Amino acid sequence: MIKKIKASSSEKFIFVFLIILSVATFSTYFVVKNKCLFIKNFNPKDITFREPNNIAILNAPCGNVIIELYPNVSPNAVQRFVTLIRSNAYENIAFHRVIENKLIQAGDLEFGKKGKLDYGKIGTGKSGLGTIKSEIDSSFNYTKGSVGLARTFKNDTEDSQFFIILQDEPLFEGEYTPVGKVLYGIEVLKKIKYQRNSEYILRPDFINSFKMLN
């Protein structure tokens, strides 16, 4: 005859605790894994824009980044940027340089393409359209969310690479050609993969798509 053993209250407590712990661990795994969980994804169709023709939508792993372009500030740079956006040149291009809460950079069309990444050369690639002149004489406040064209150490070497700043950078004025500003989705940019010990990213995130609203 099997004698039924009654669980003590401490055993019951440990049992309940283990169940709670396993549920918490299991759910945390999904929460932690999904870095985009609390990021709002803006739908441009739900928003009314003052200048809809100057709106570009960059789709990153955590959602849309809605950017207003400033052709009045930097006409040539914006023209180049729009040309590349309209030709879908930025699709599947890596965010190859990311500094936590400071800056993200992408747009190396030559060495930053998904499947053809060249870690030795990334950041030095060209678009094939040639370089354009820097447009740095206008006053422009490089506040958080500003978008500019990257260049080499010299002026007049802007091509396809661009950066978006995640904090105010007043010293960028007069250094880099501005092209626009993020209106919505700065939190999406903060979730782009970065490394604490390097500006350049191993197995980086990619631009899913980059399109003009109209």
Partner 1 sequence: MNIIRAILLLFFFITPLKANTIYNLIKIPNLEIYEINTENKLKYLYAVRPFRLGTQKNIVCSNANKKDLKEKYKIIYKNLNRYSYDYLKKINLKYIVLCENLSISELYTAGIPDNIMKTLILDIQFNEDYFERVIHHEVFHIIYLQYKEIFNDEEWIKFNNPKFKYAKCSTCTKNIGLEKYKETKGFFTEYSKSTASEDMAEVYSHMIFLKKEEINQIRKSDPILNNKILYIENKIKQIDNTFTF
| Residue 163: count of CB within 10 angstroms of its CB | 24
Strand partners, 180: 69, 147
For partner 1, the closer of residues 120 and 130 by Cβ is: 120
Among positions 72-91, residues that touch partner 1 (CB under 8 A) are: none
User: Burial level of 128, CB count in 10 A (0-12/13-18/19+)?
Assistant: exposed
**What is the Cα–Cα distance from 206 to 195, expressed in whole angstroms?**
15
CB 174, min distance to partner 1, A: 6
Q: How many residues does the chain have?
A: 214
Taking CB under 8 A as the criterion, the residue among 28, 141, 143, 198 binding partner 1 is 198
DSSP string, 161-177: -EEEESS--GGGTTTSE
Taking CB under 8 A as the criterion, the residue among 16, 21, 29, 100 binding partner 1 is 100
Taking CB under 8 A as the criterion, the residue among 108, 135, 169, 205 binding partner 1 is 169
For partner 1, the closer of residues 65 and 165 by Cβ is: 165
For partner 1, the closer of residues 59 and 155 by Cβ is: 155
3-state SS assignment for residue 145: coil
For partner 1, the closer of residues 41 and 198 by Cβ is: 198
Among positions 176-195, residues that touch partner 1 (CB under 8 A) are: 195
Q: Which helix (H) or strand (E) holds 86?
A: helix 75-86
CB 102, min distance to partner 1, A: 5
Taking CB under 8 A as the criterion, the residue among 172, 184, 206, 210 binding partner 1 is 172
Q: Decide if 211 contacts 57 (C-beta within 8 A).
A: yes
Residue 119 as a binder of partner 1 (CB under 8 A): the answer is yes
Footprint on this chain of partner 1 (rule: CB under 8 A): 99-100, 102-103, 119-120, 169-175, 195-200, 202
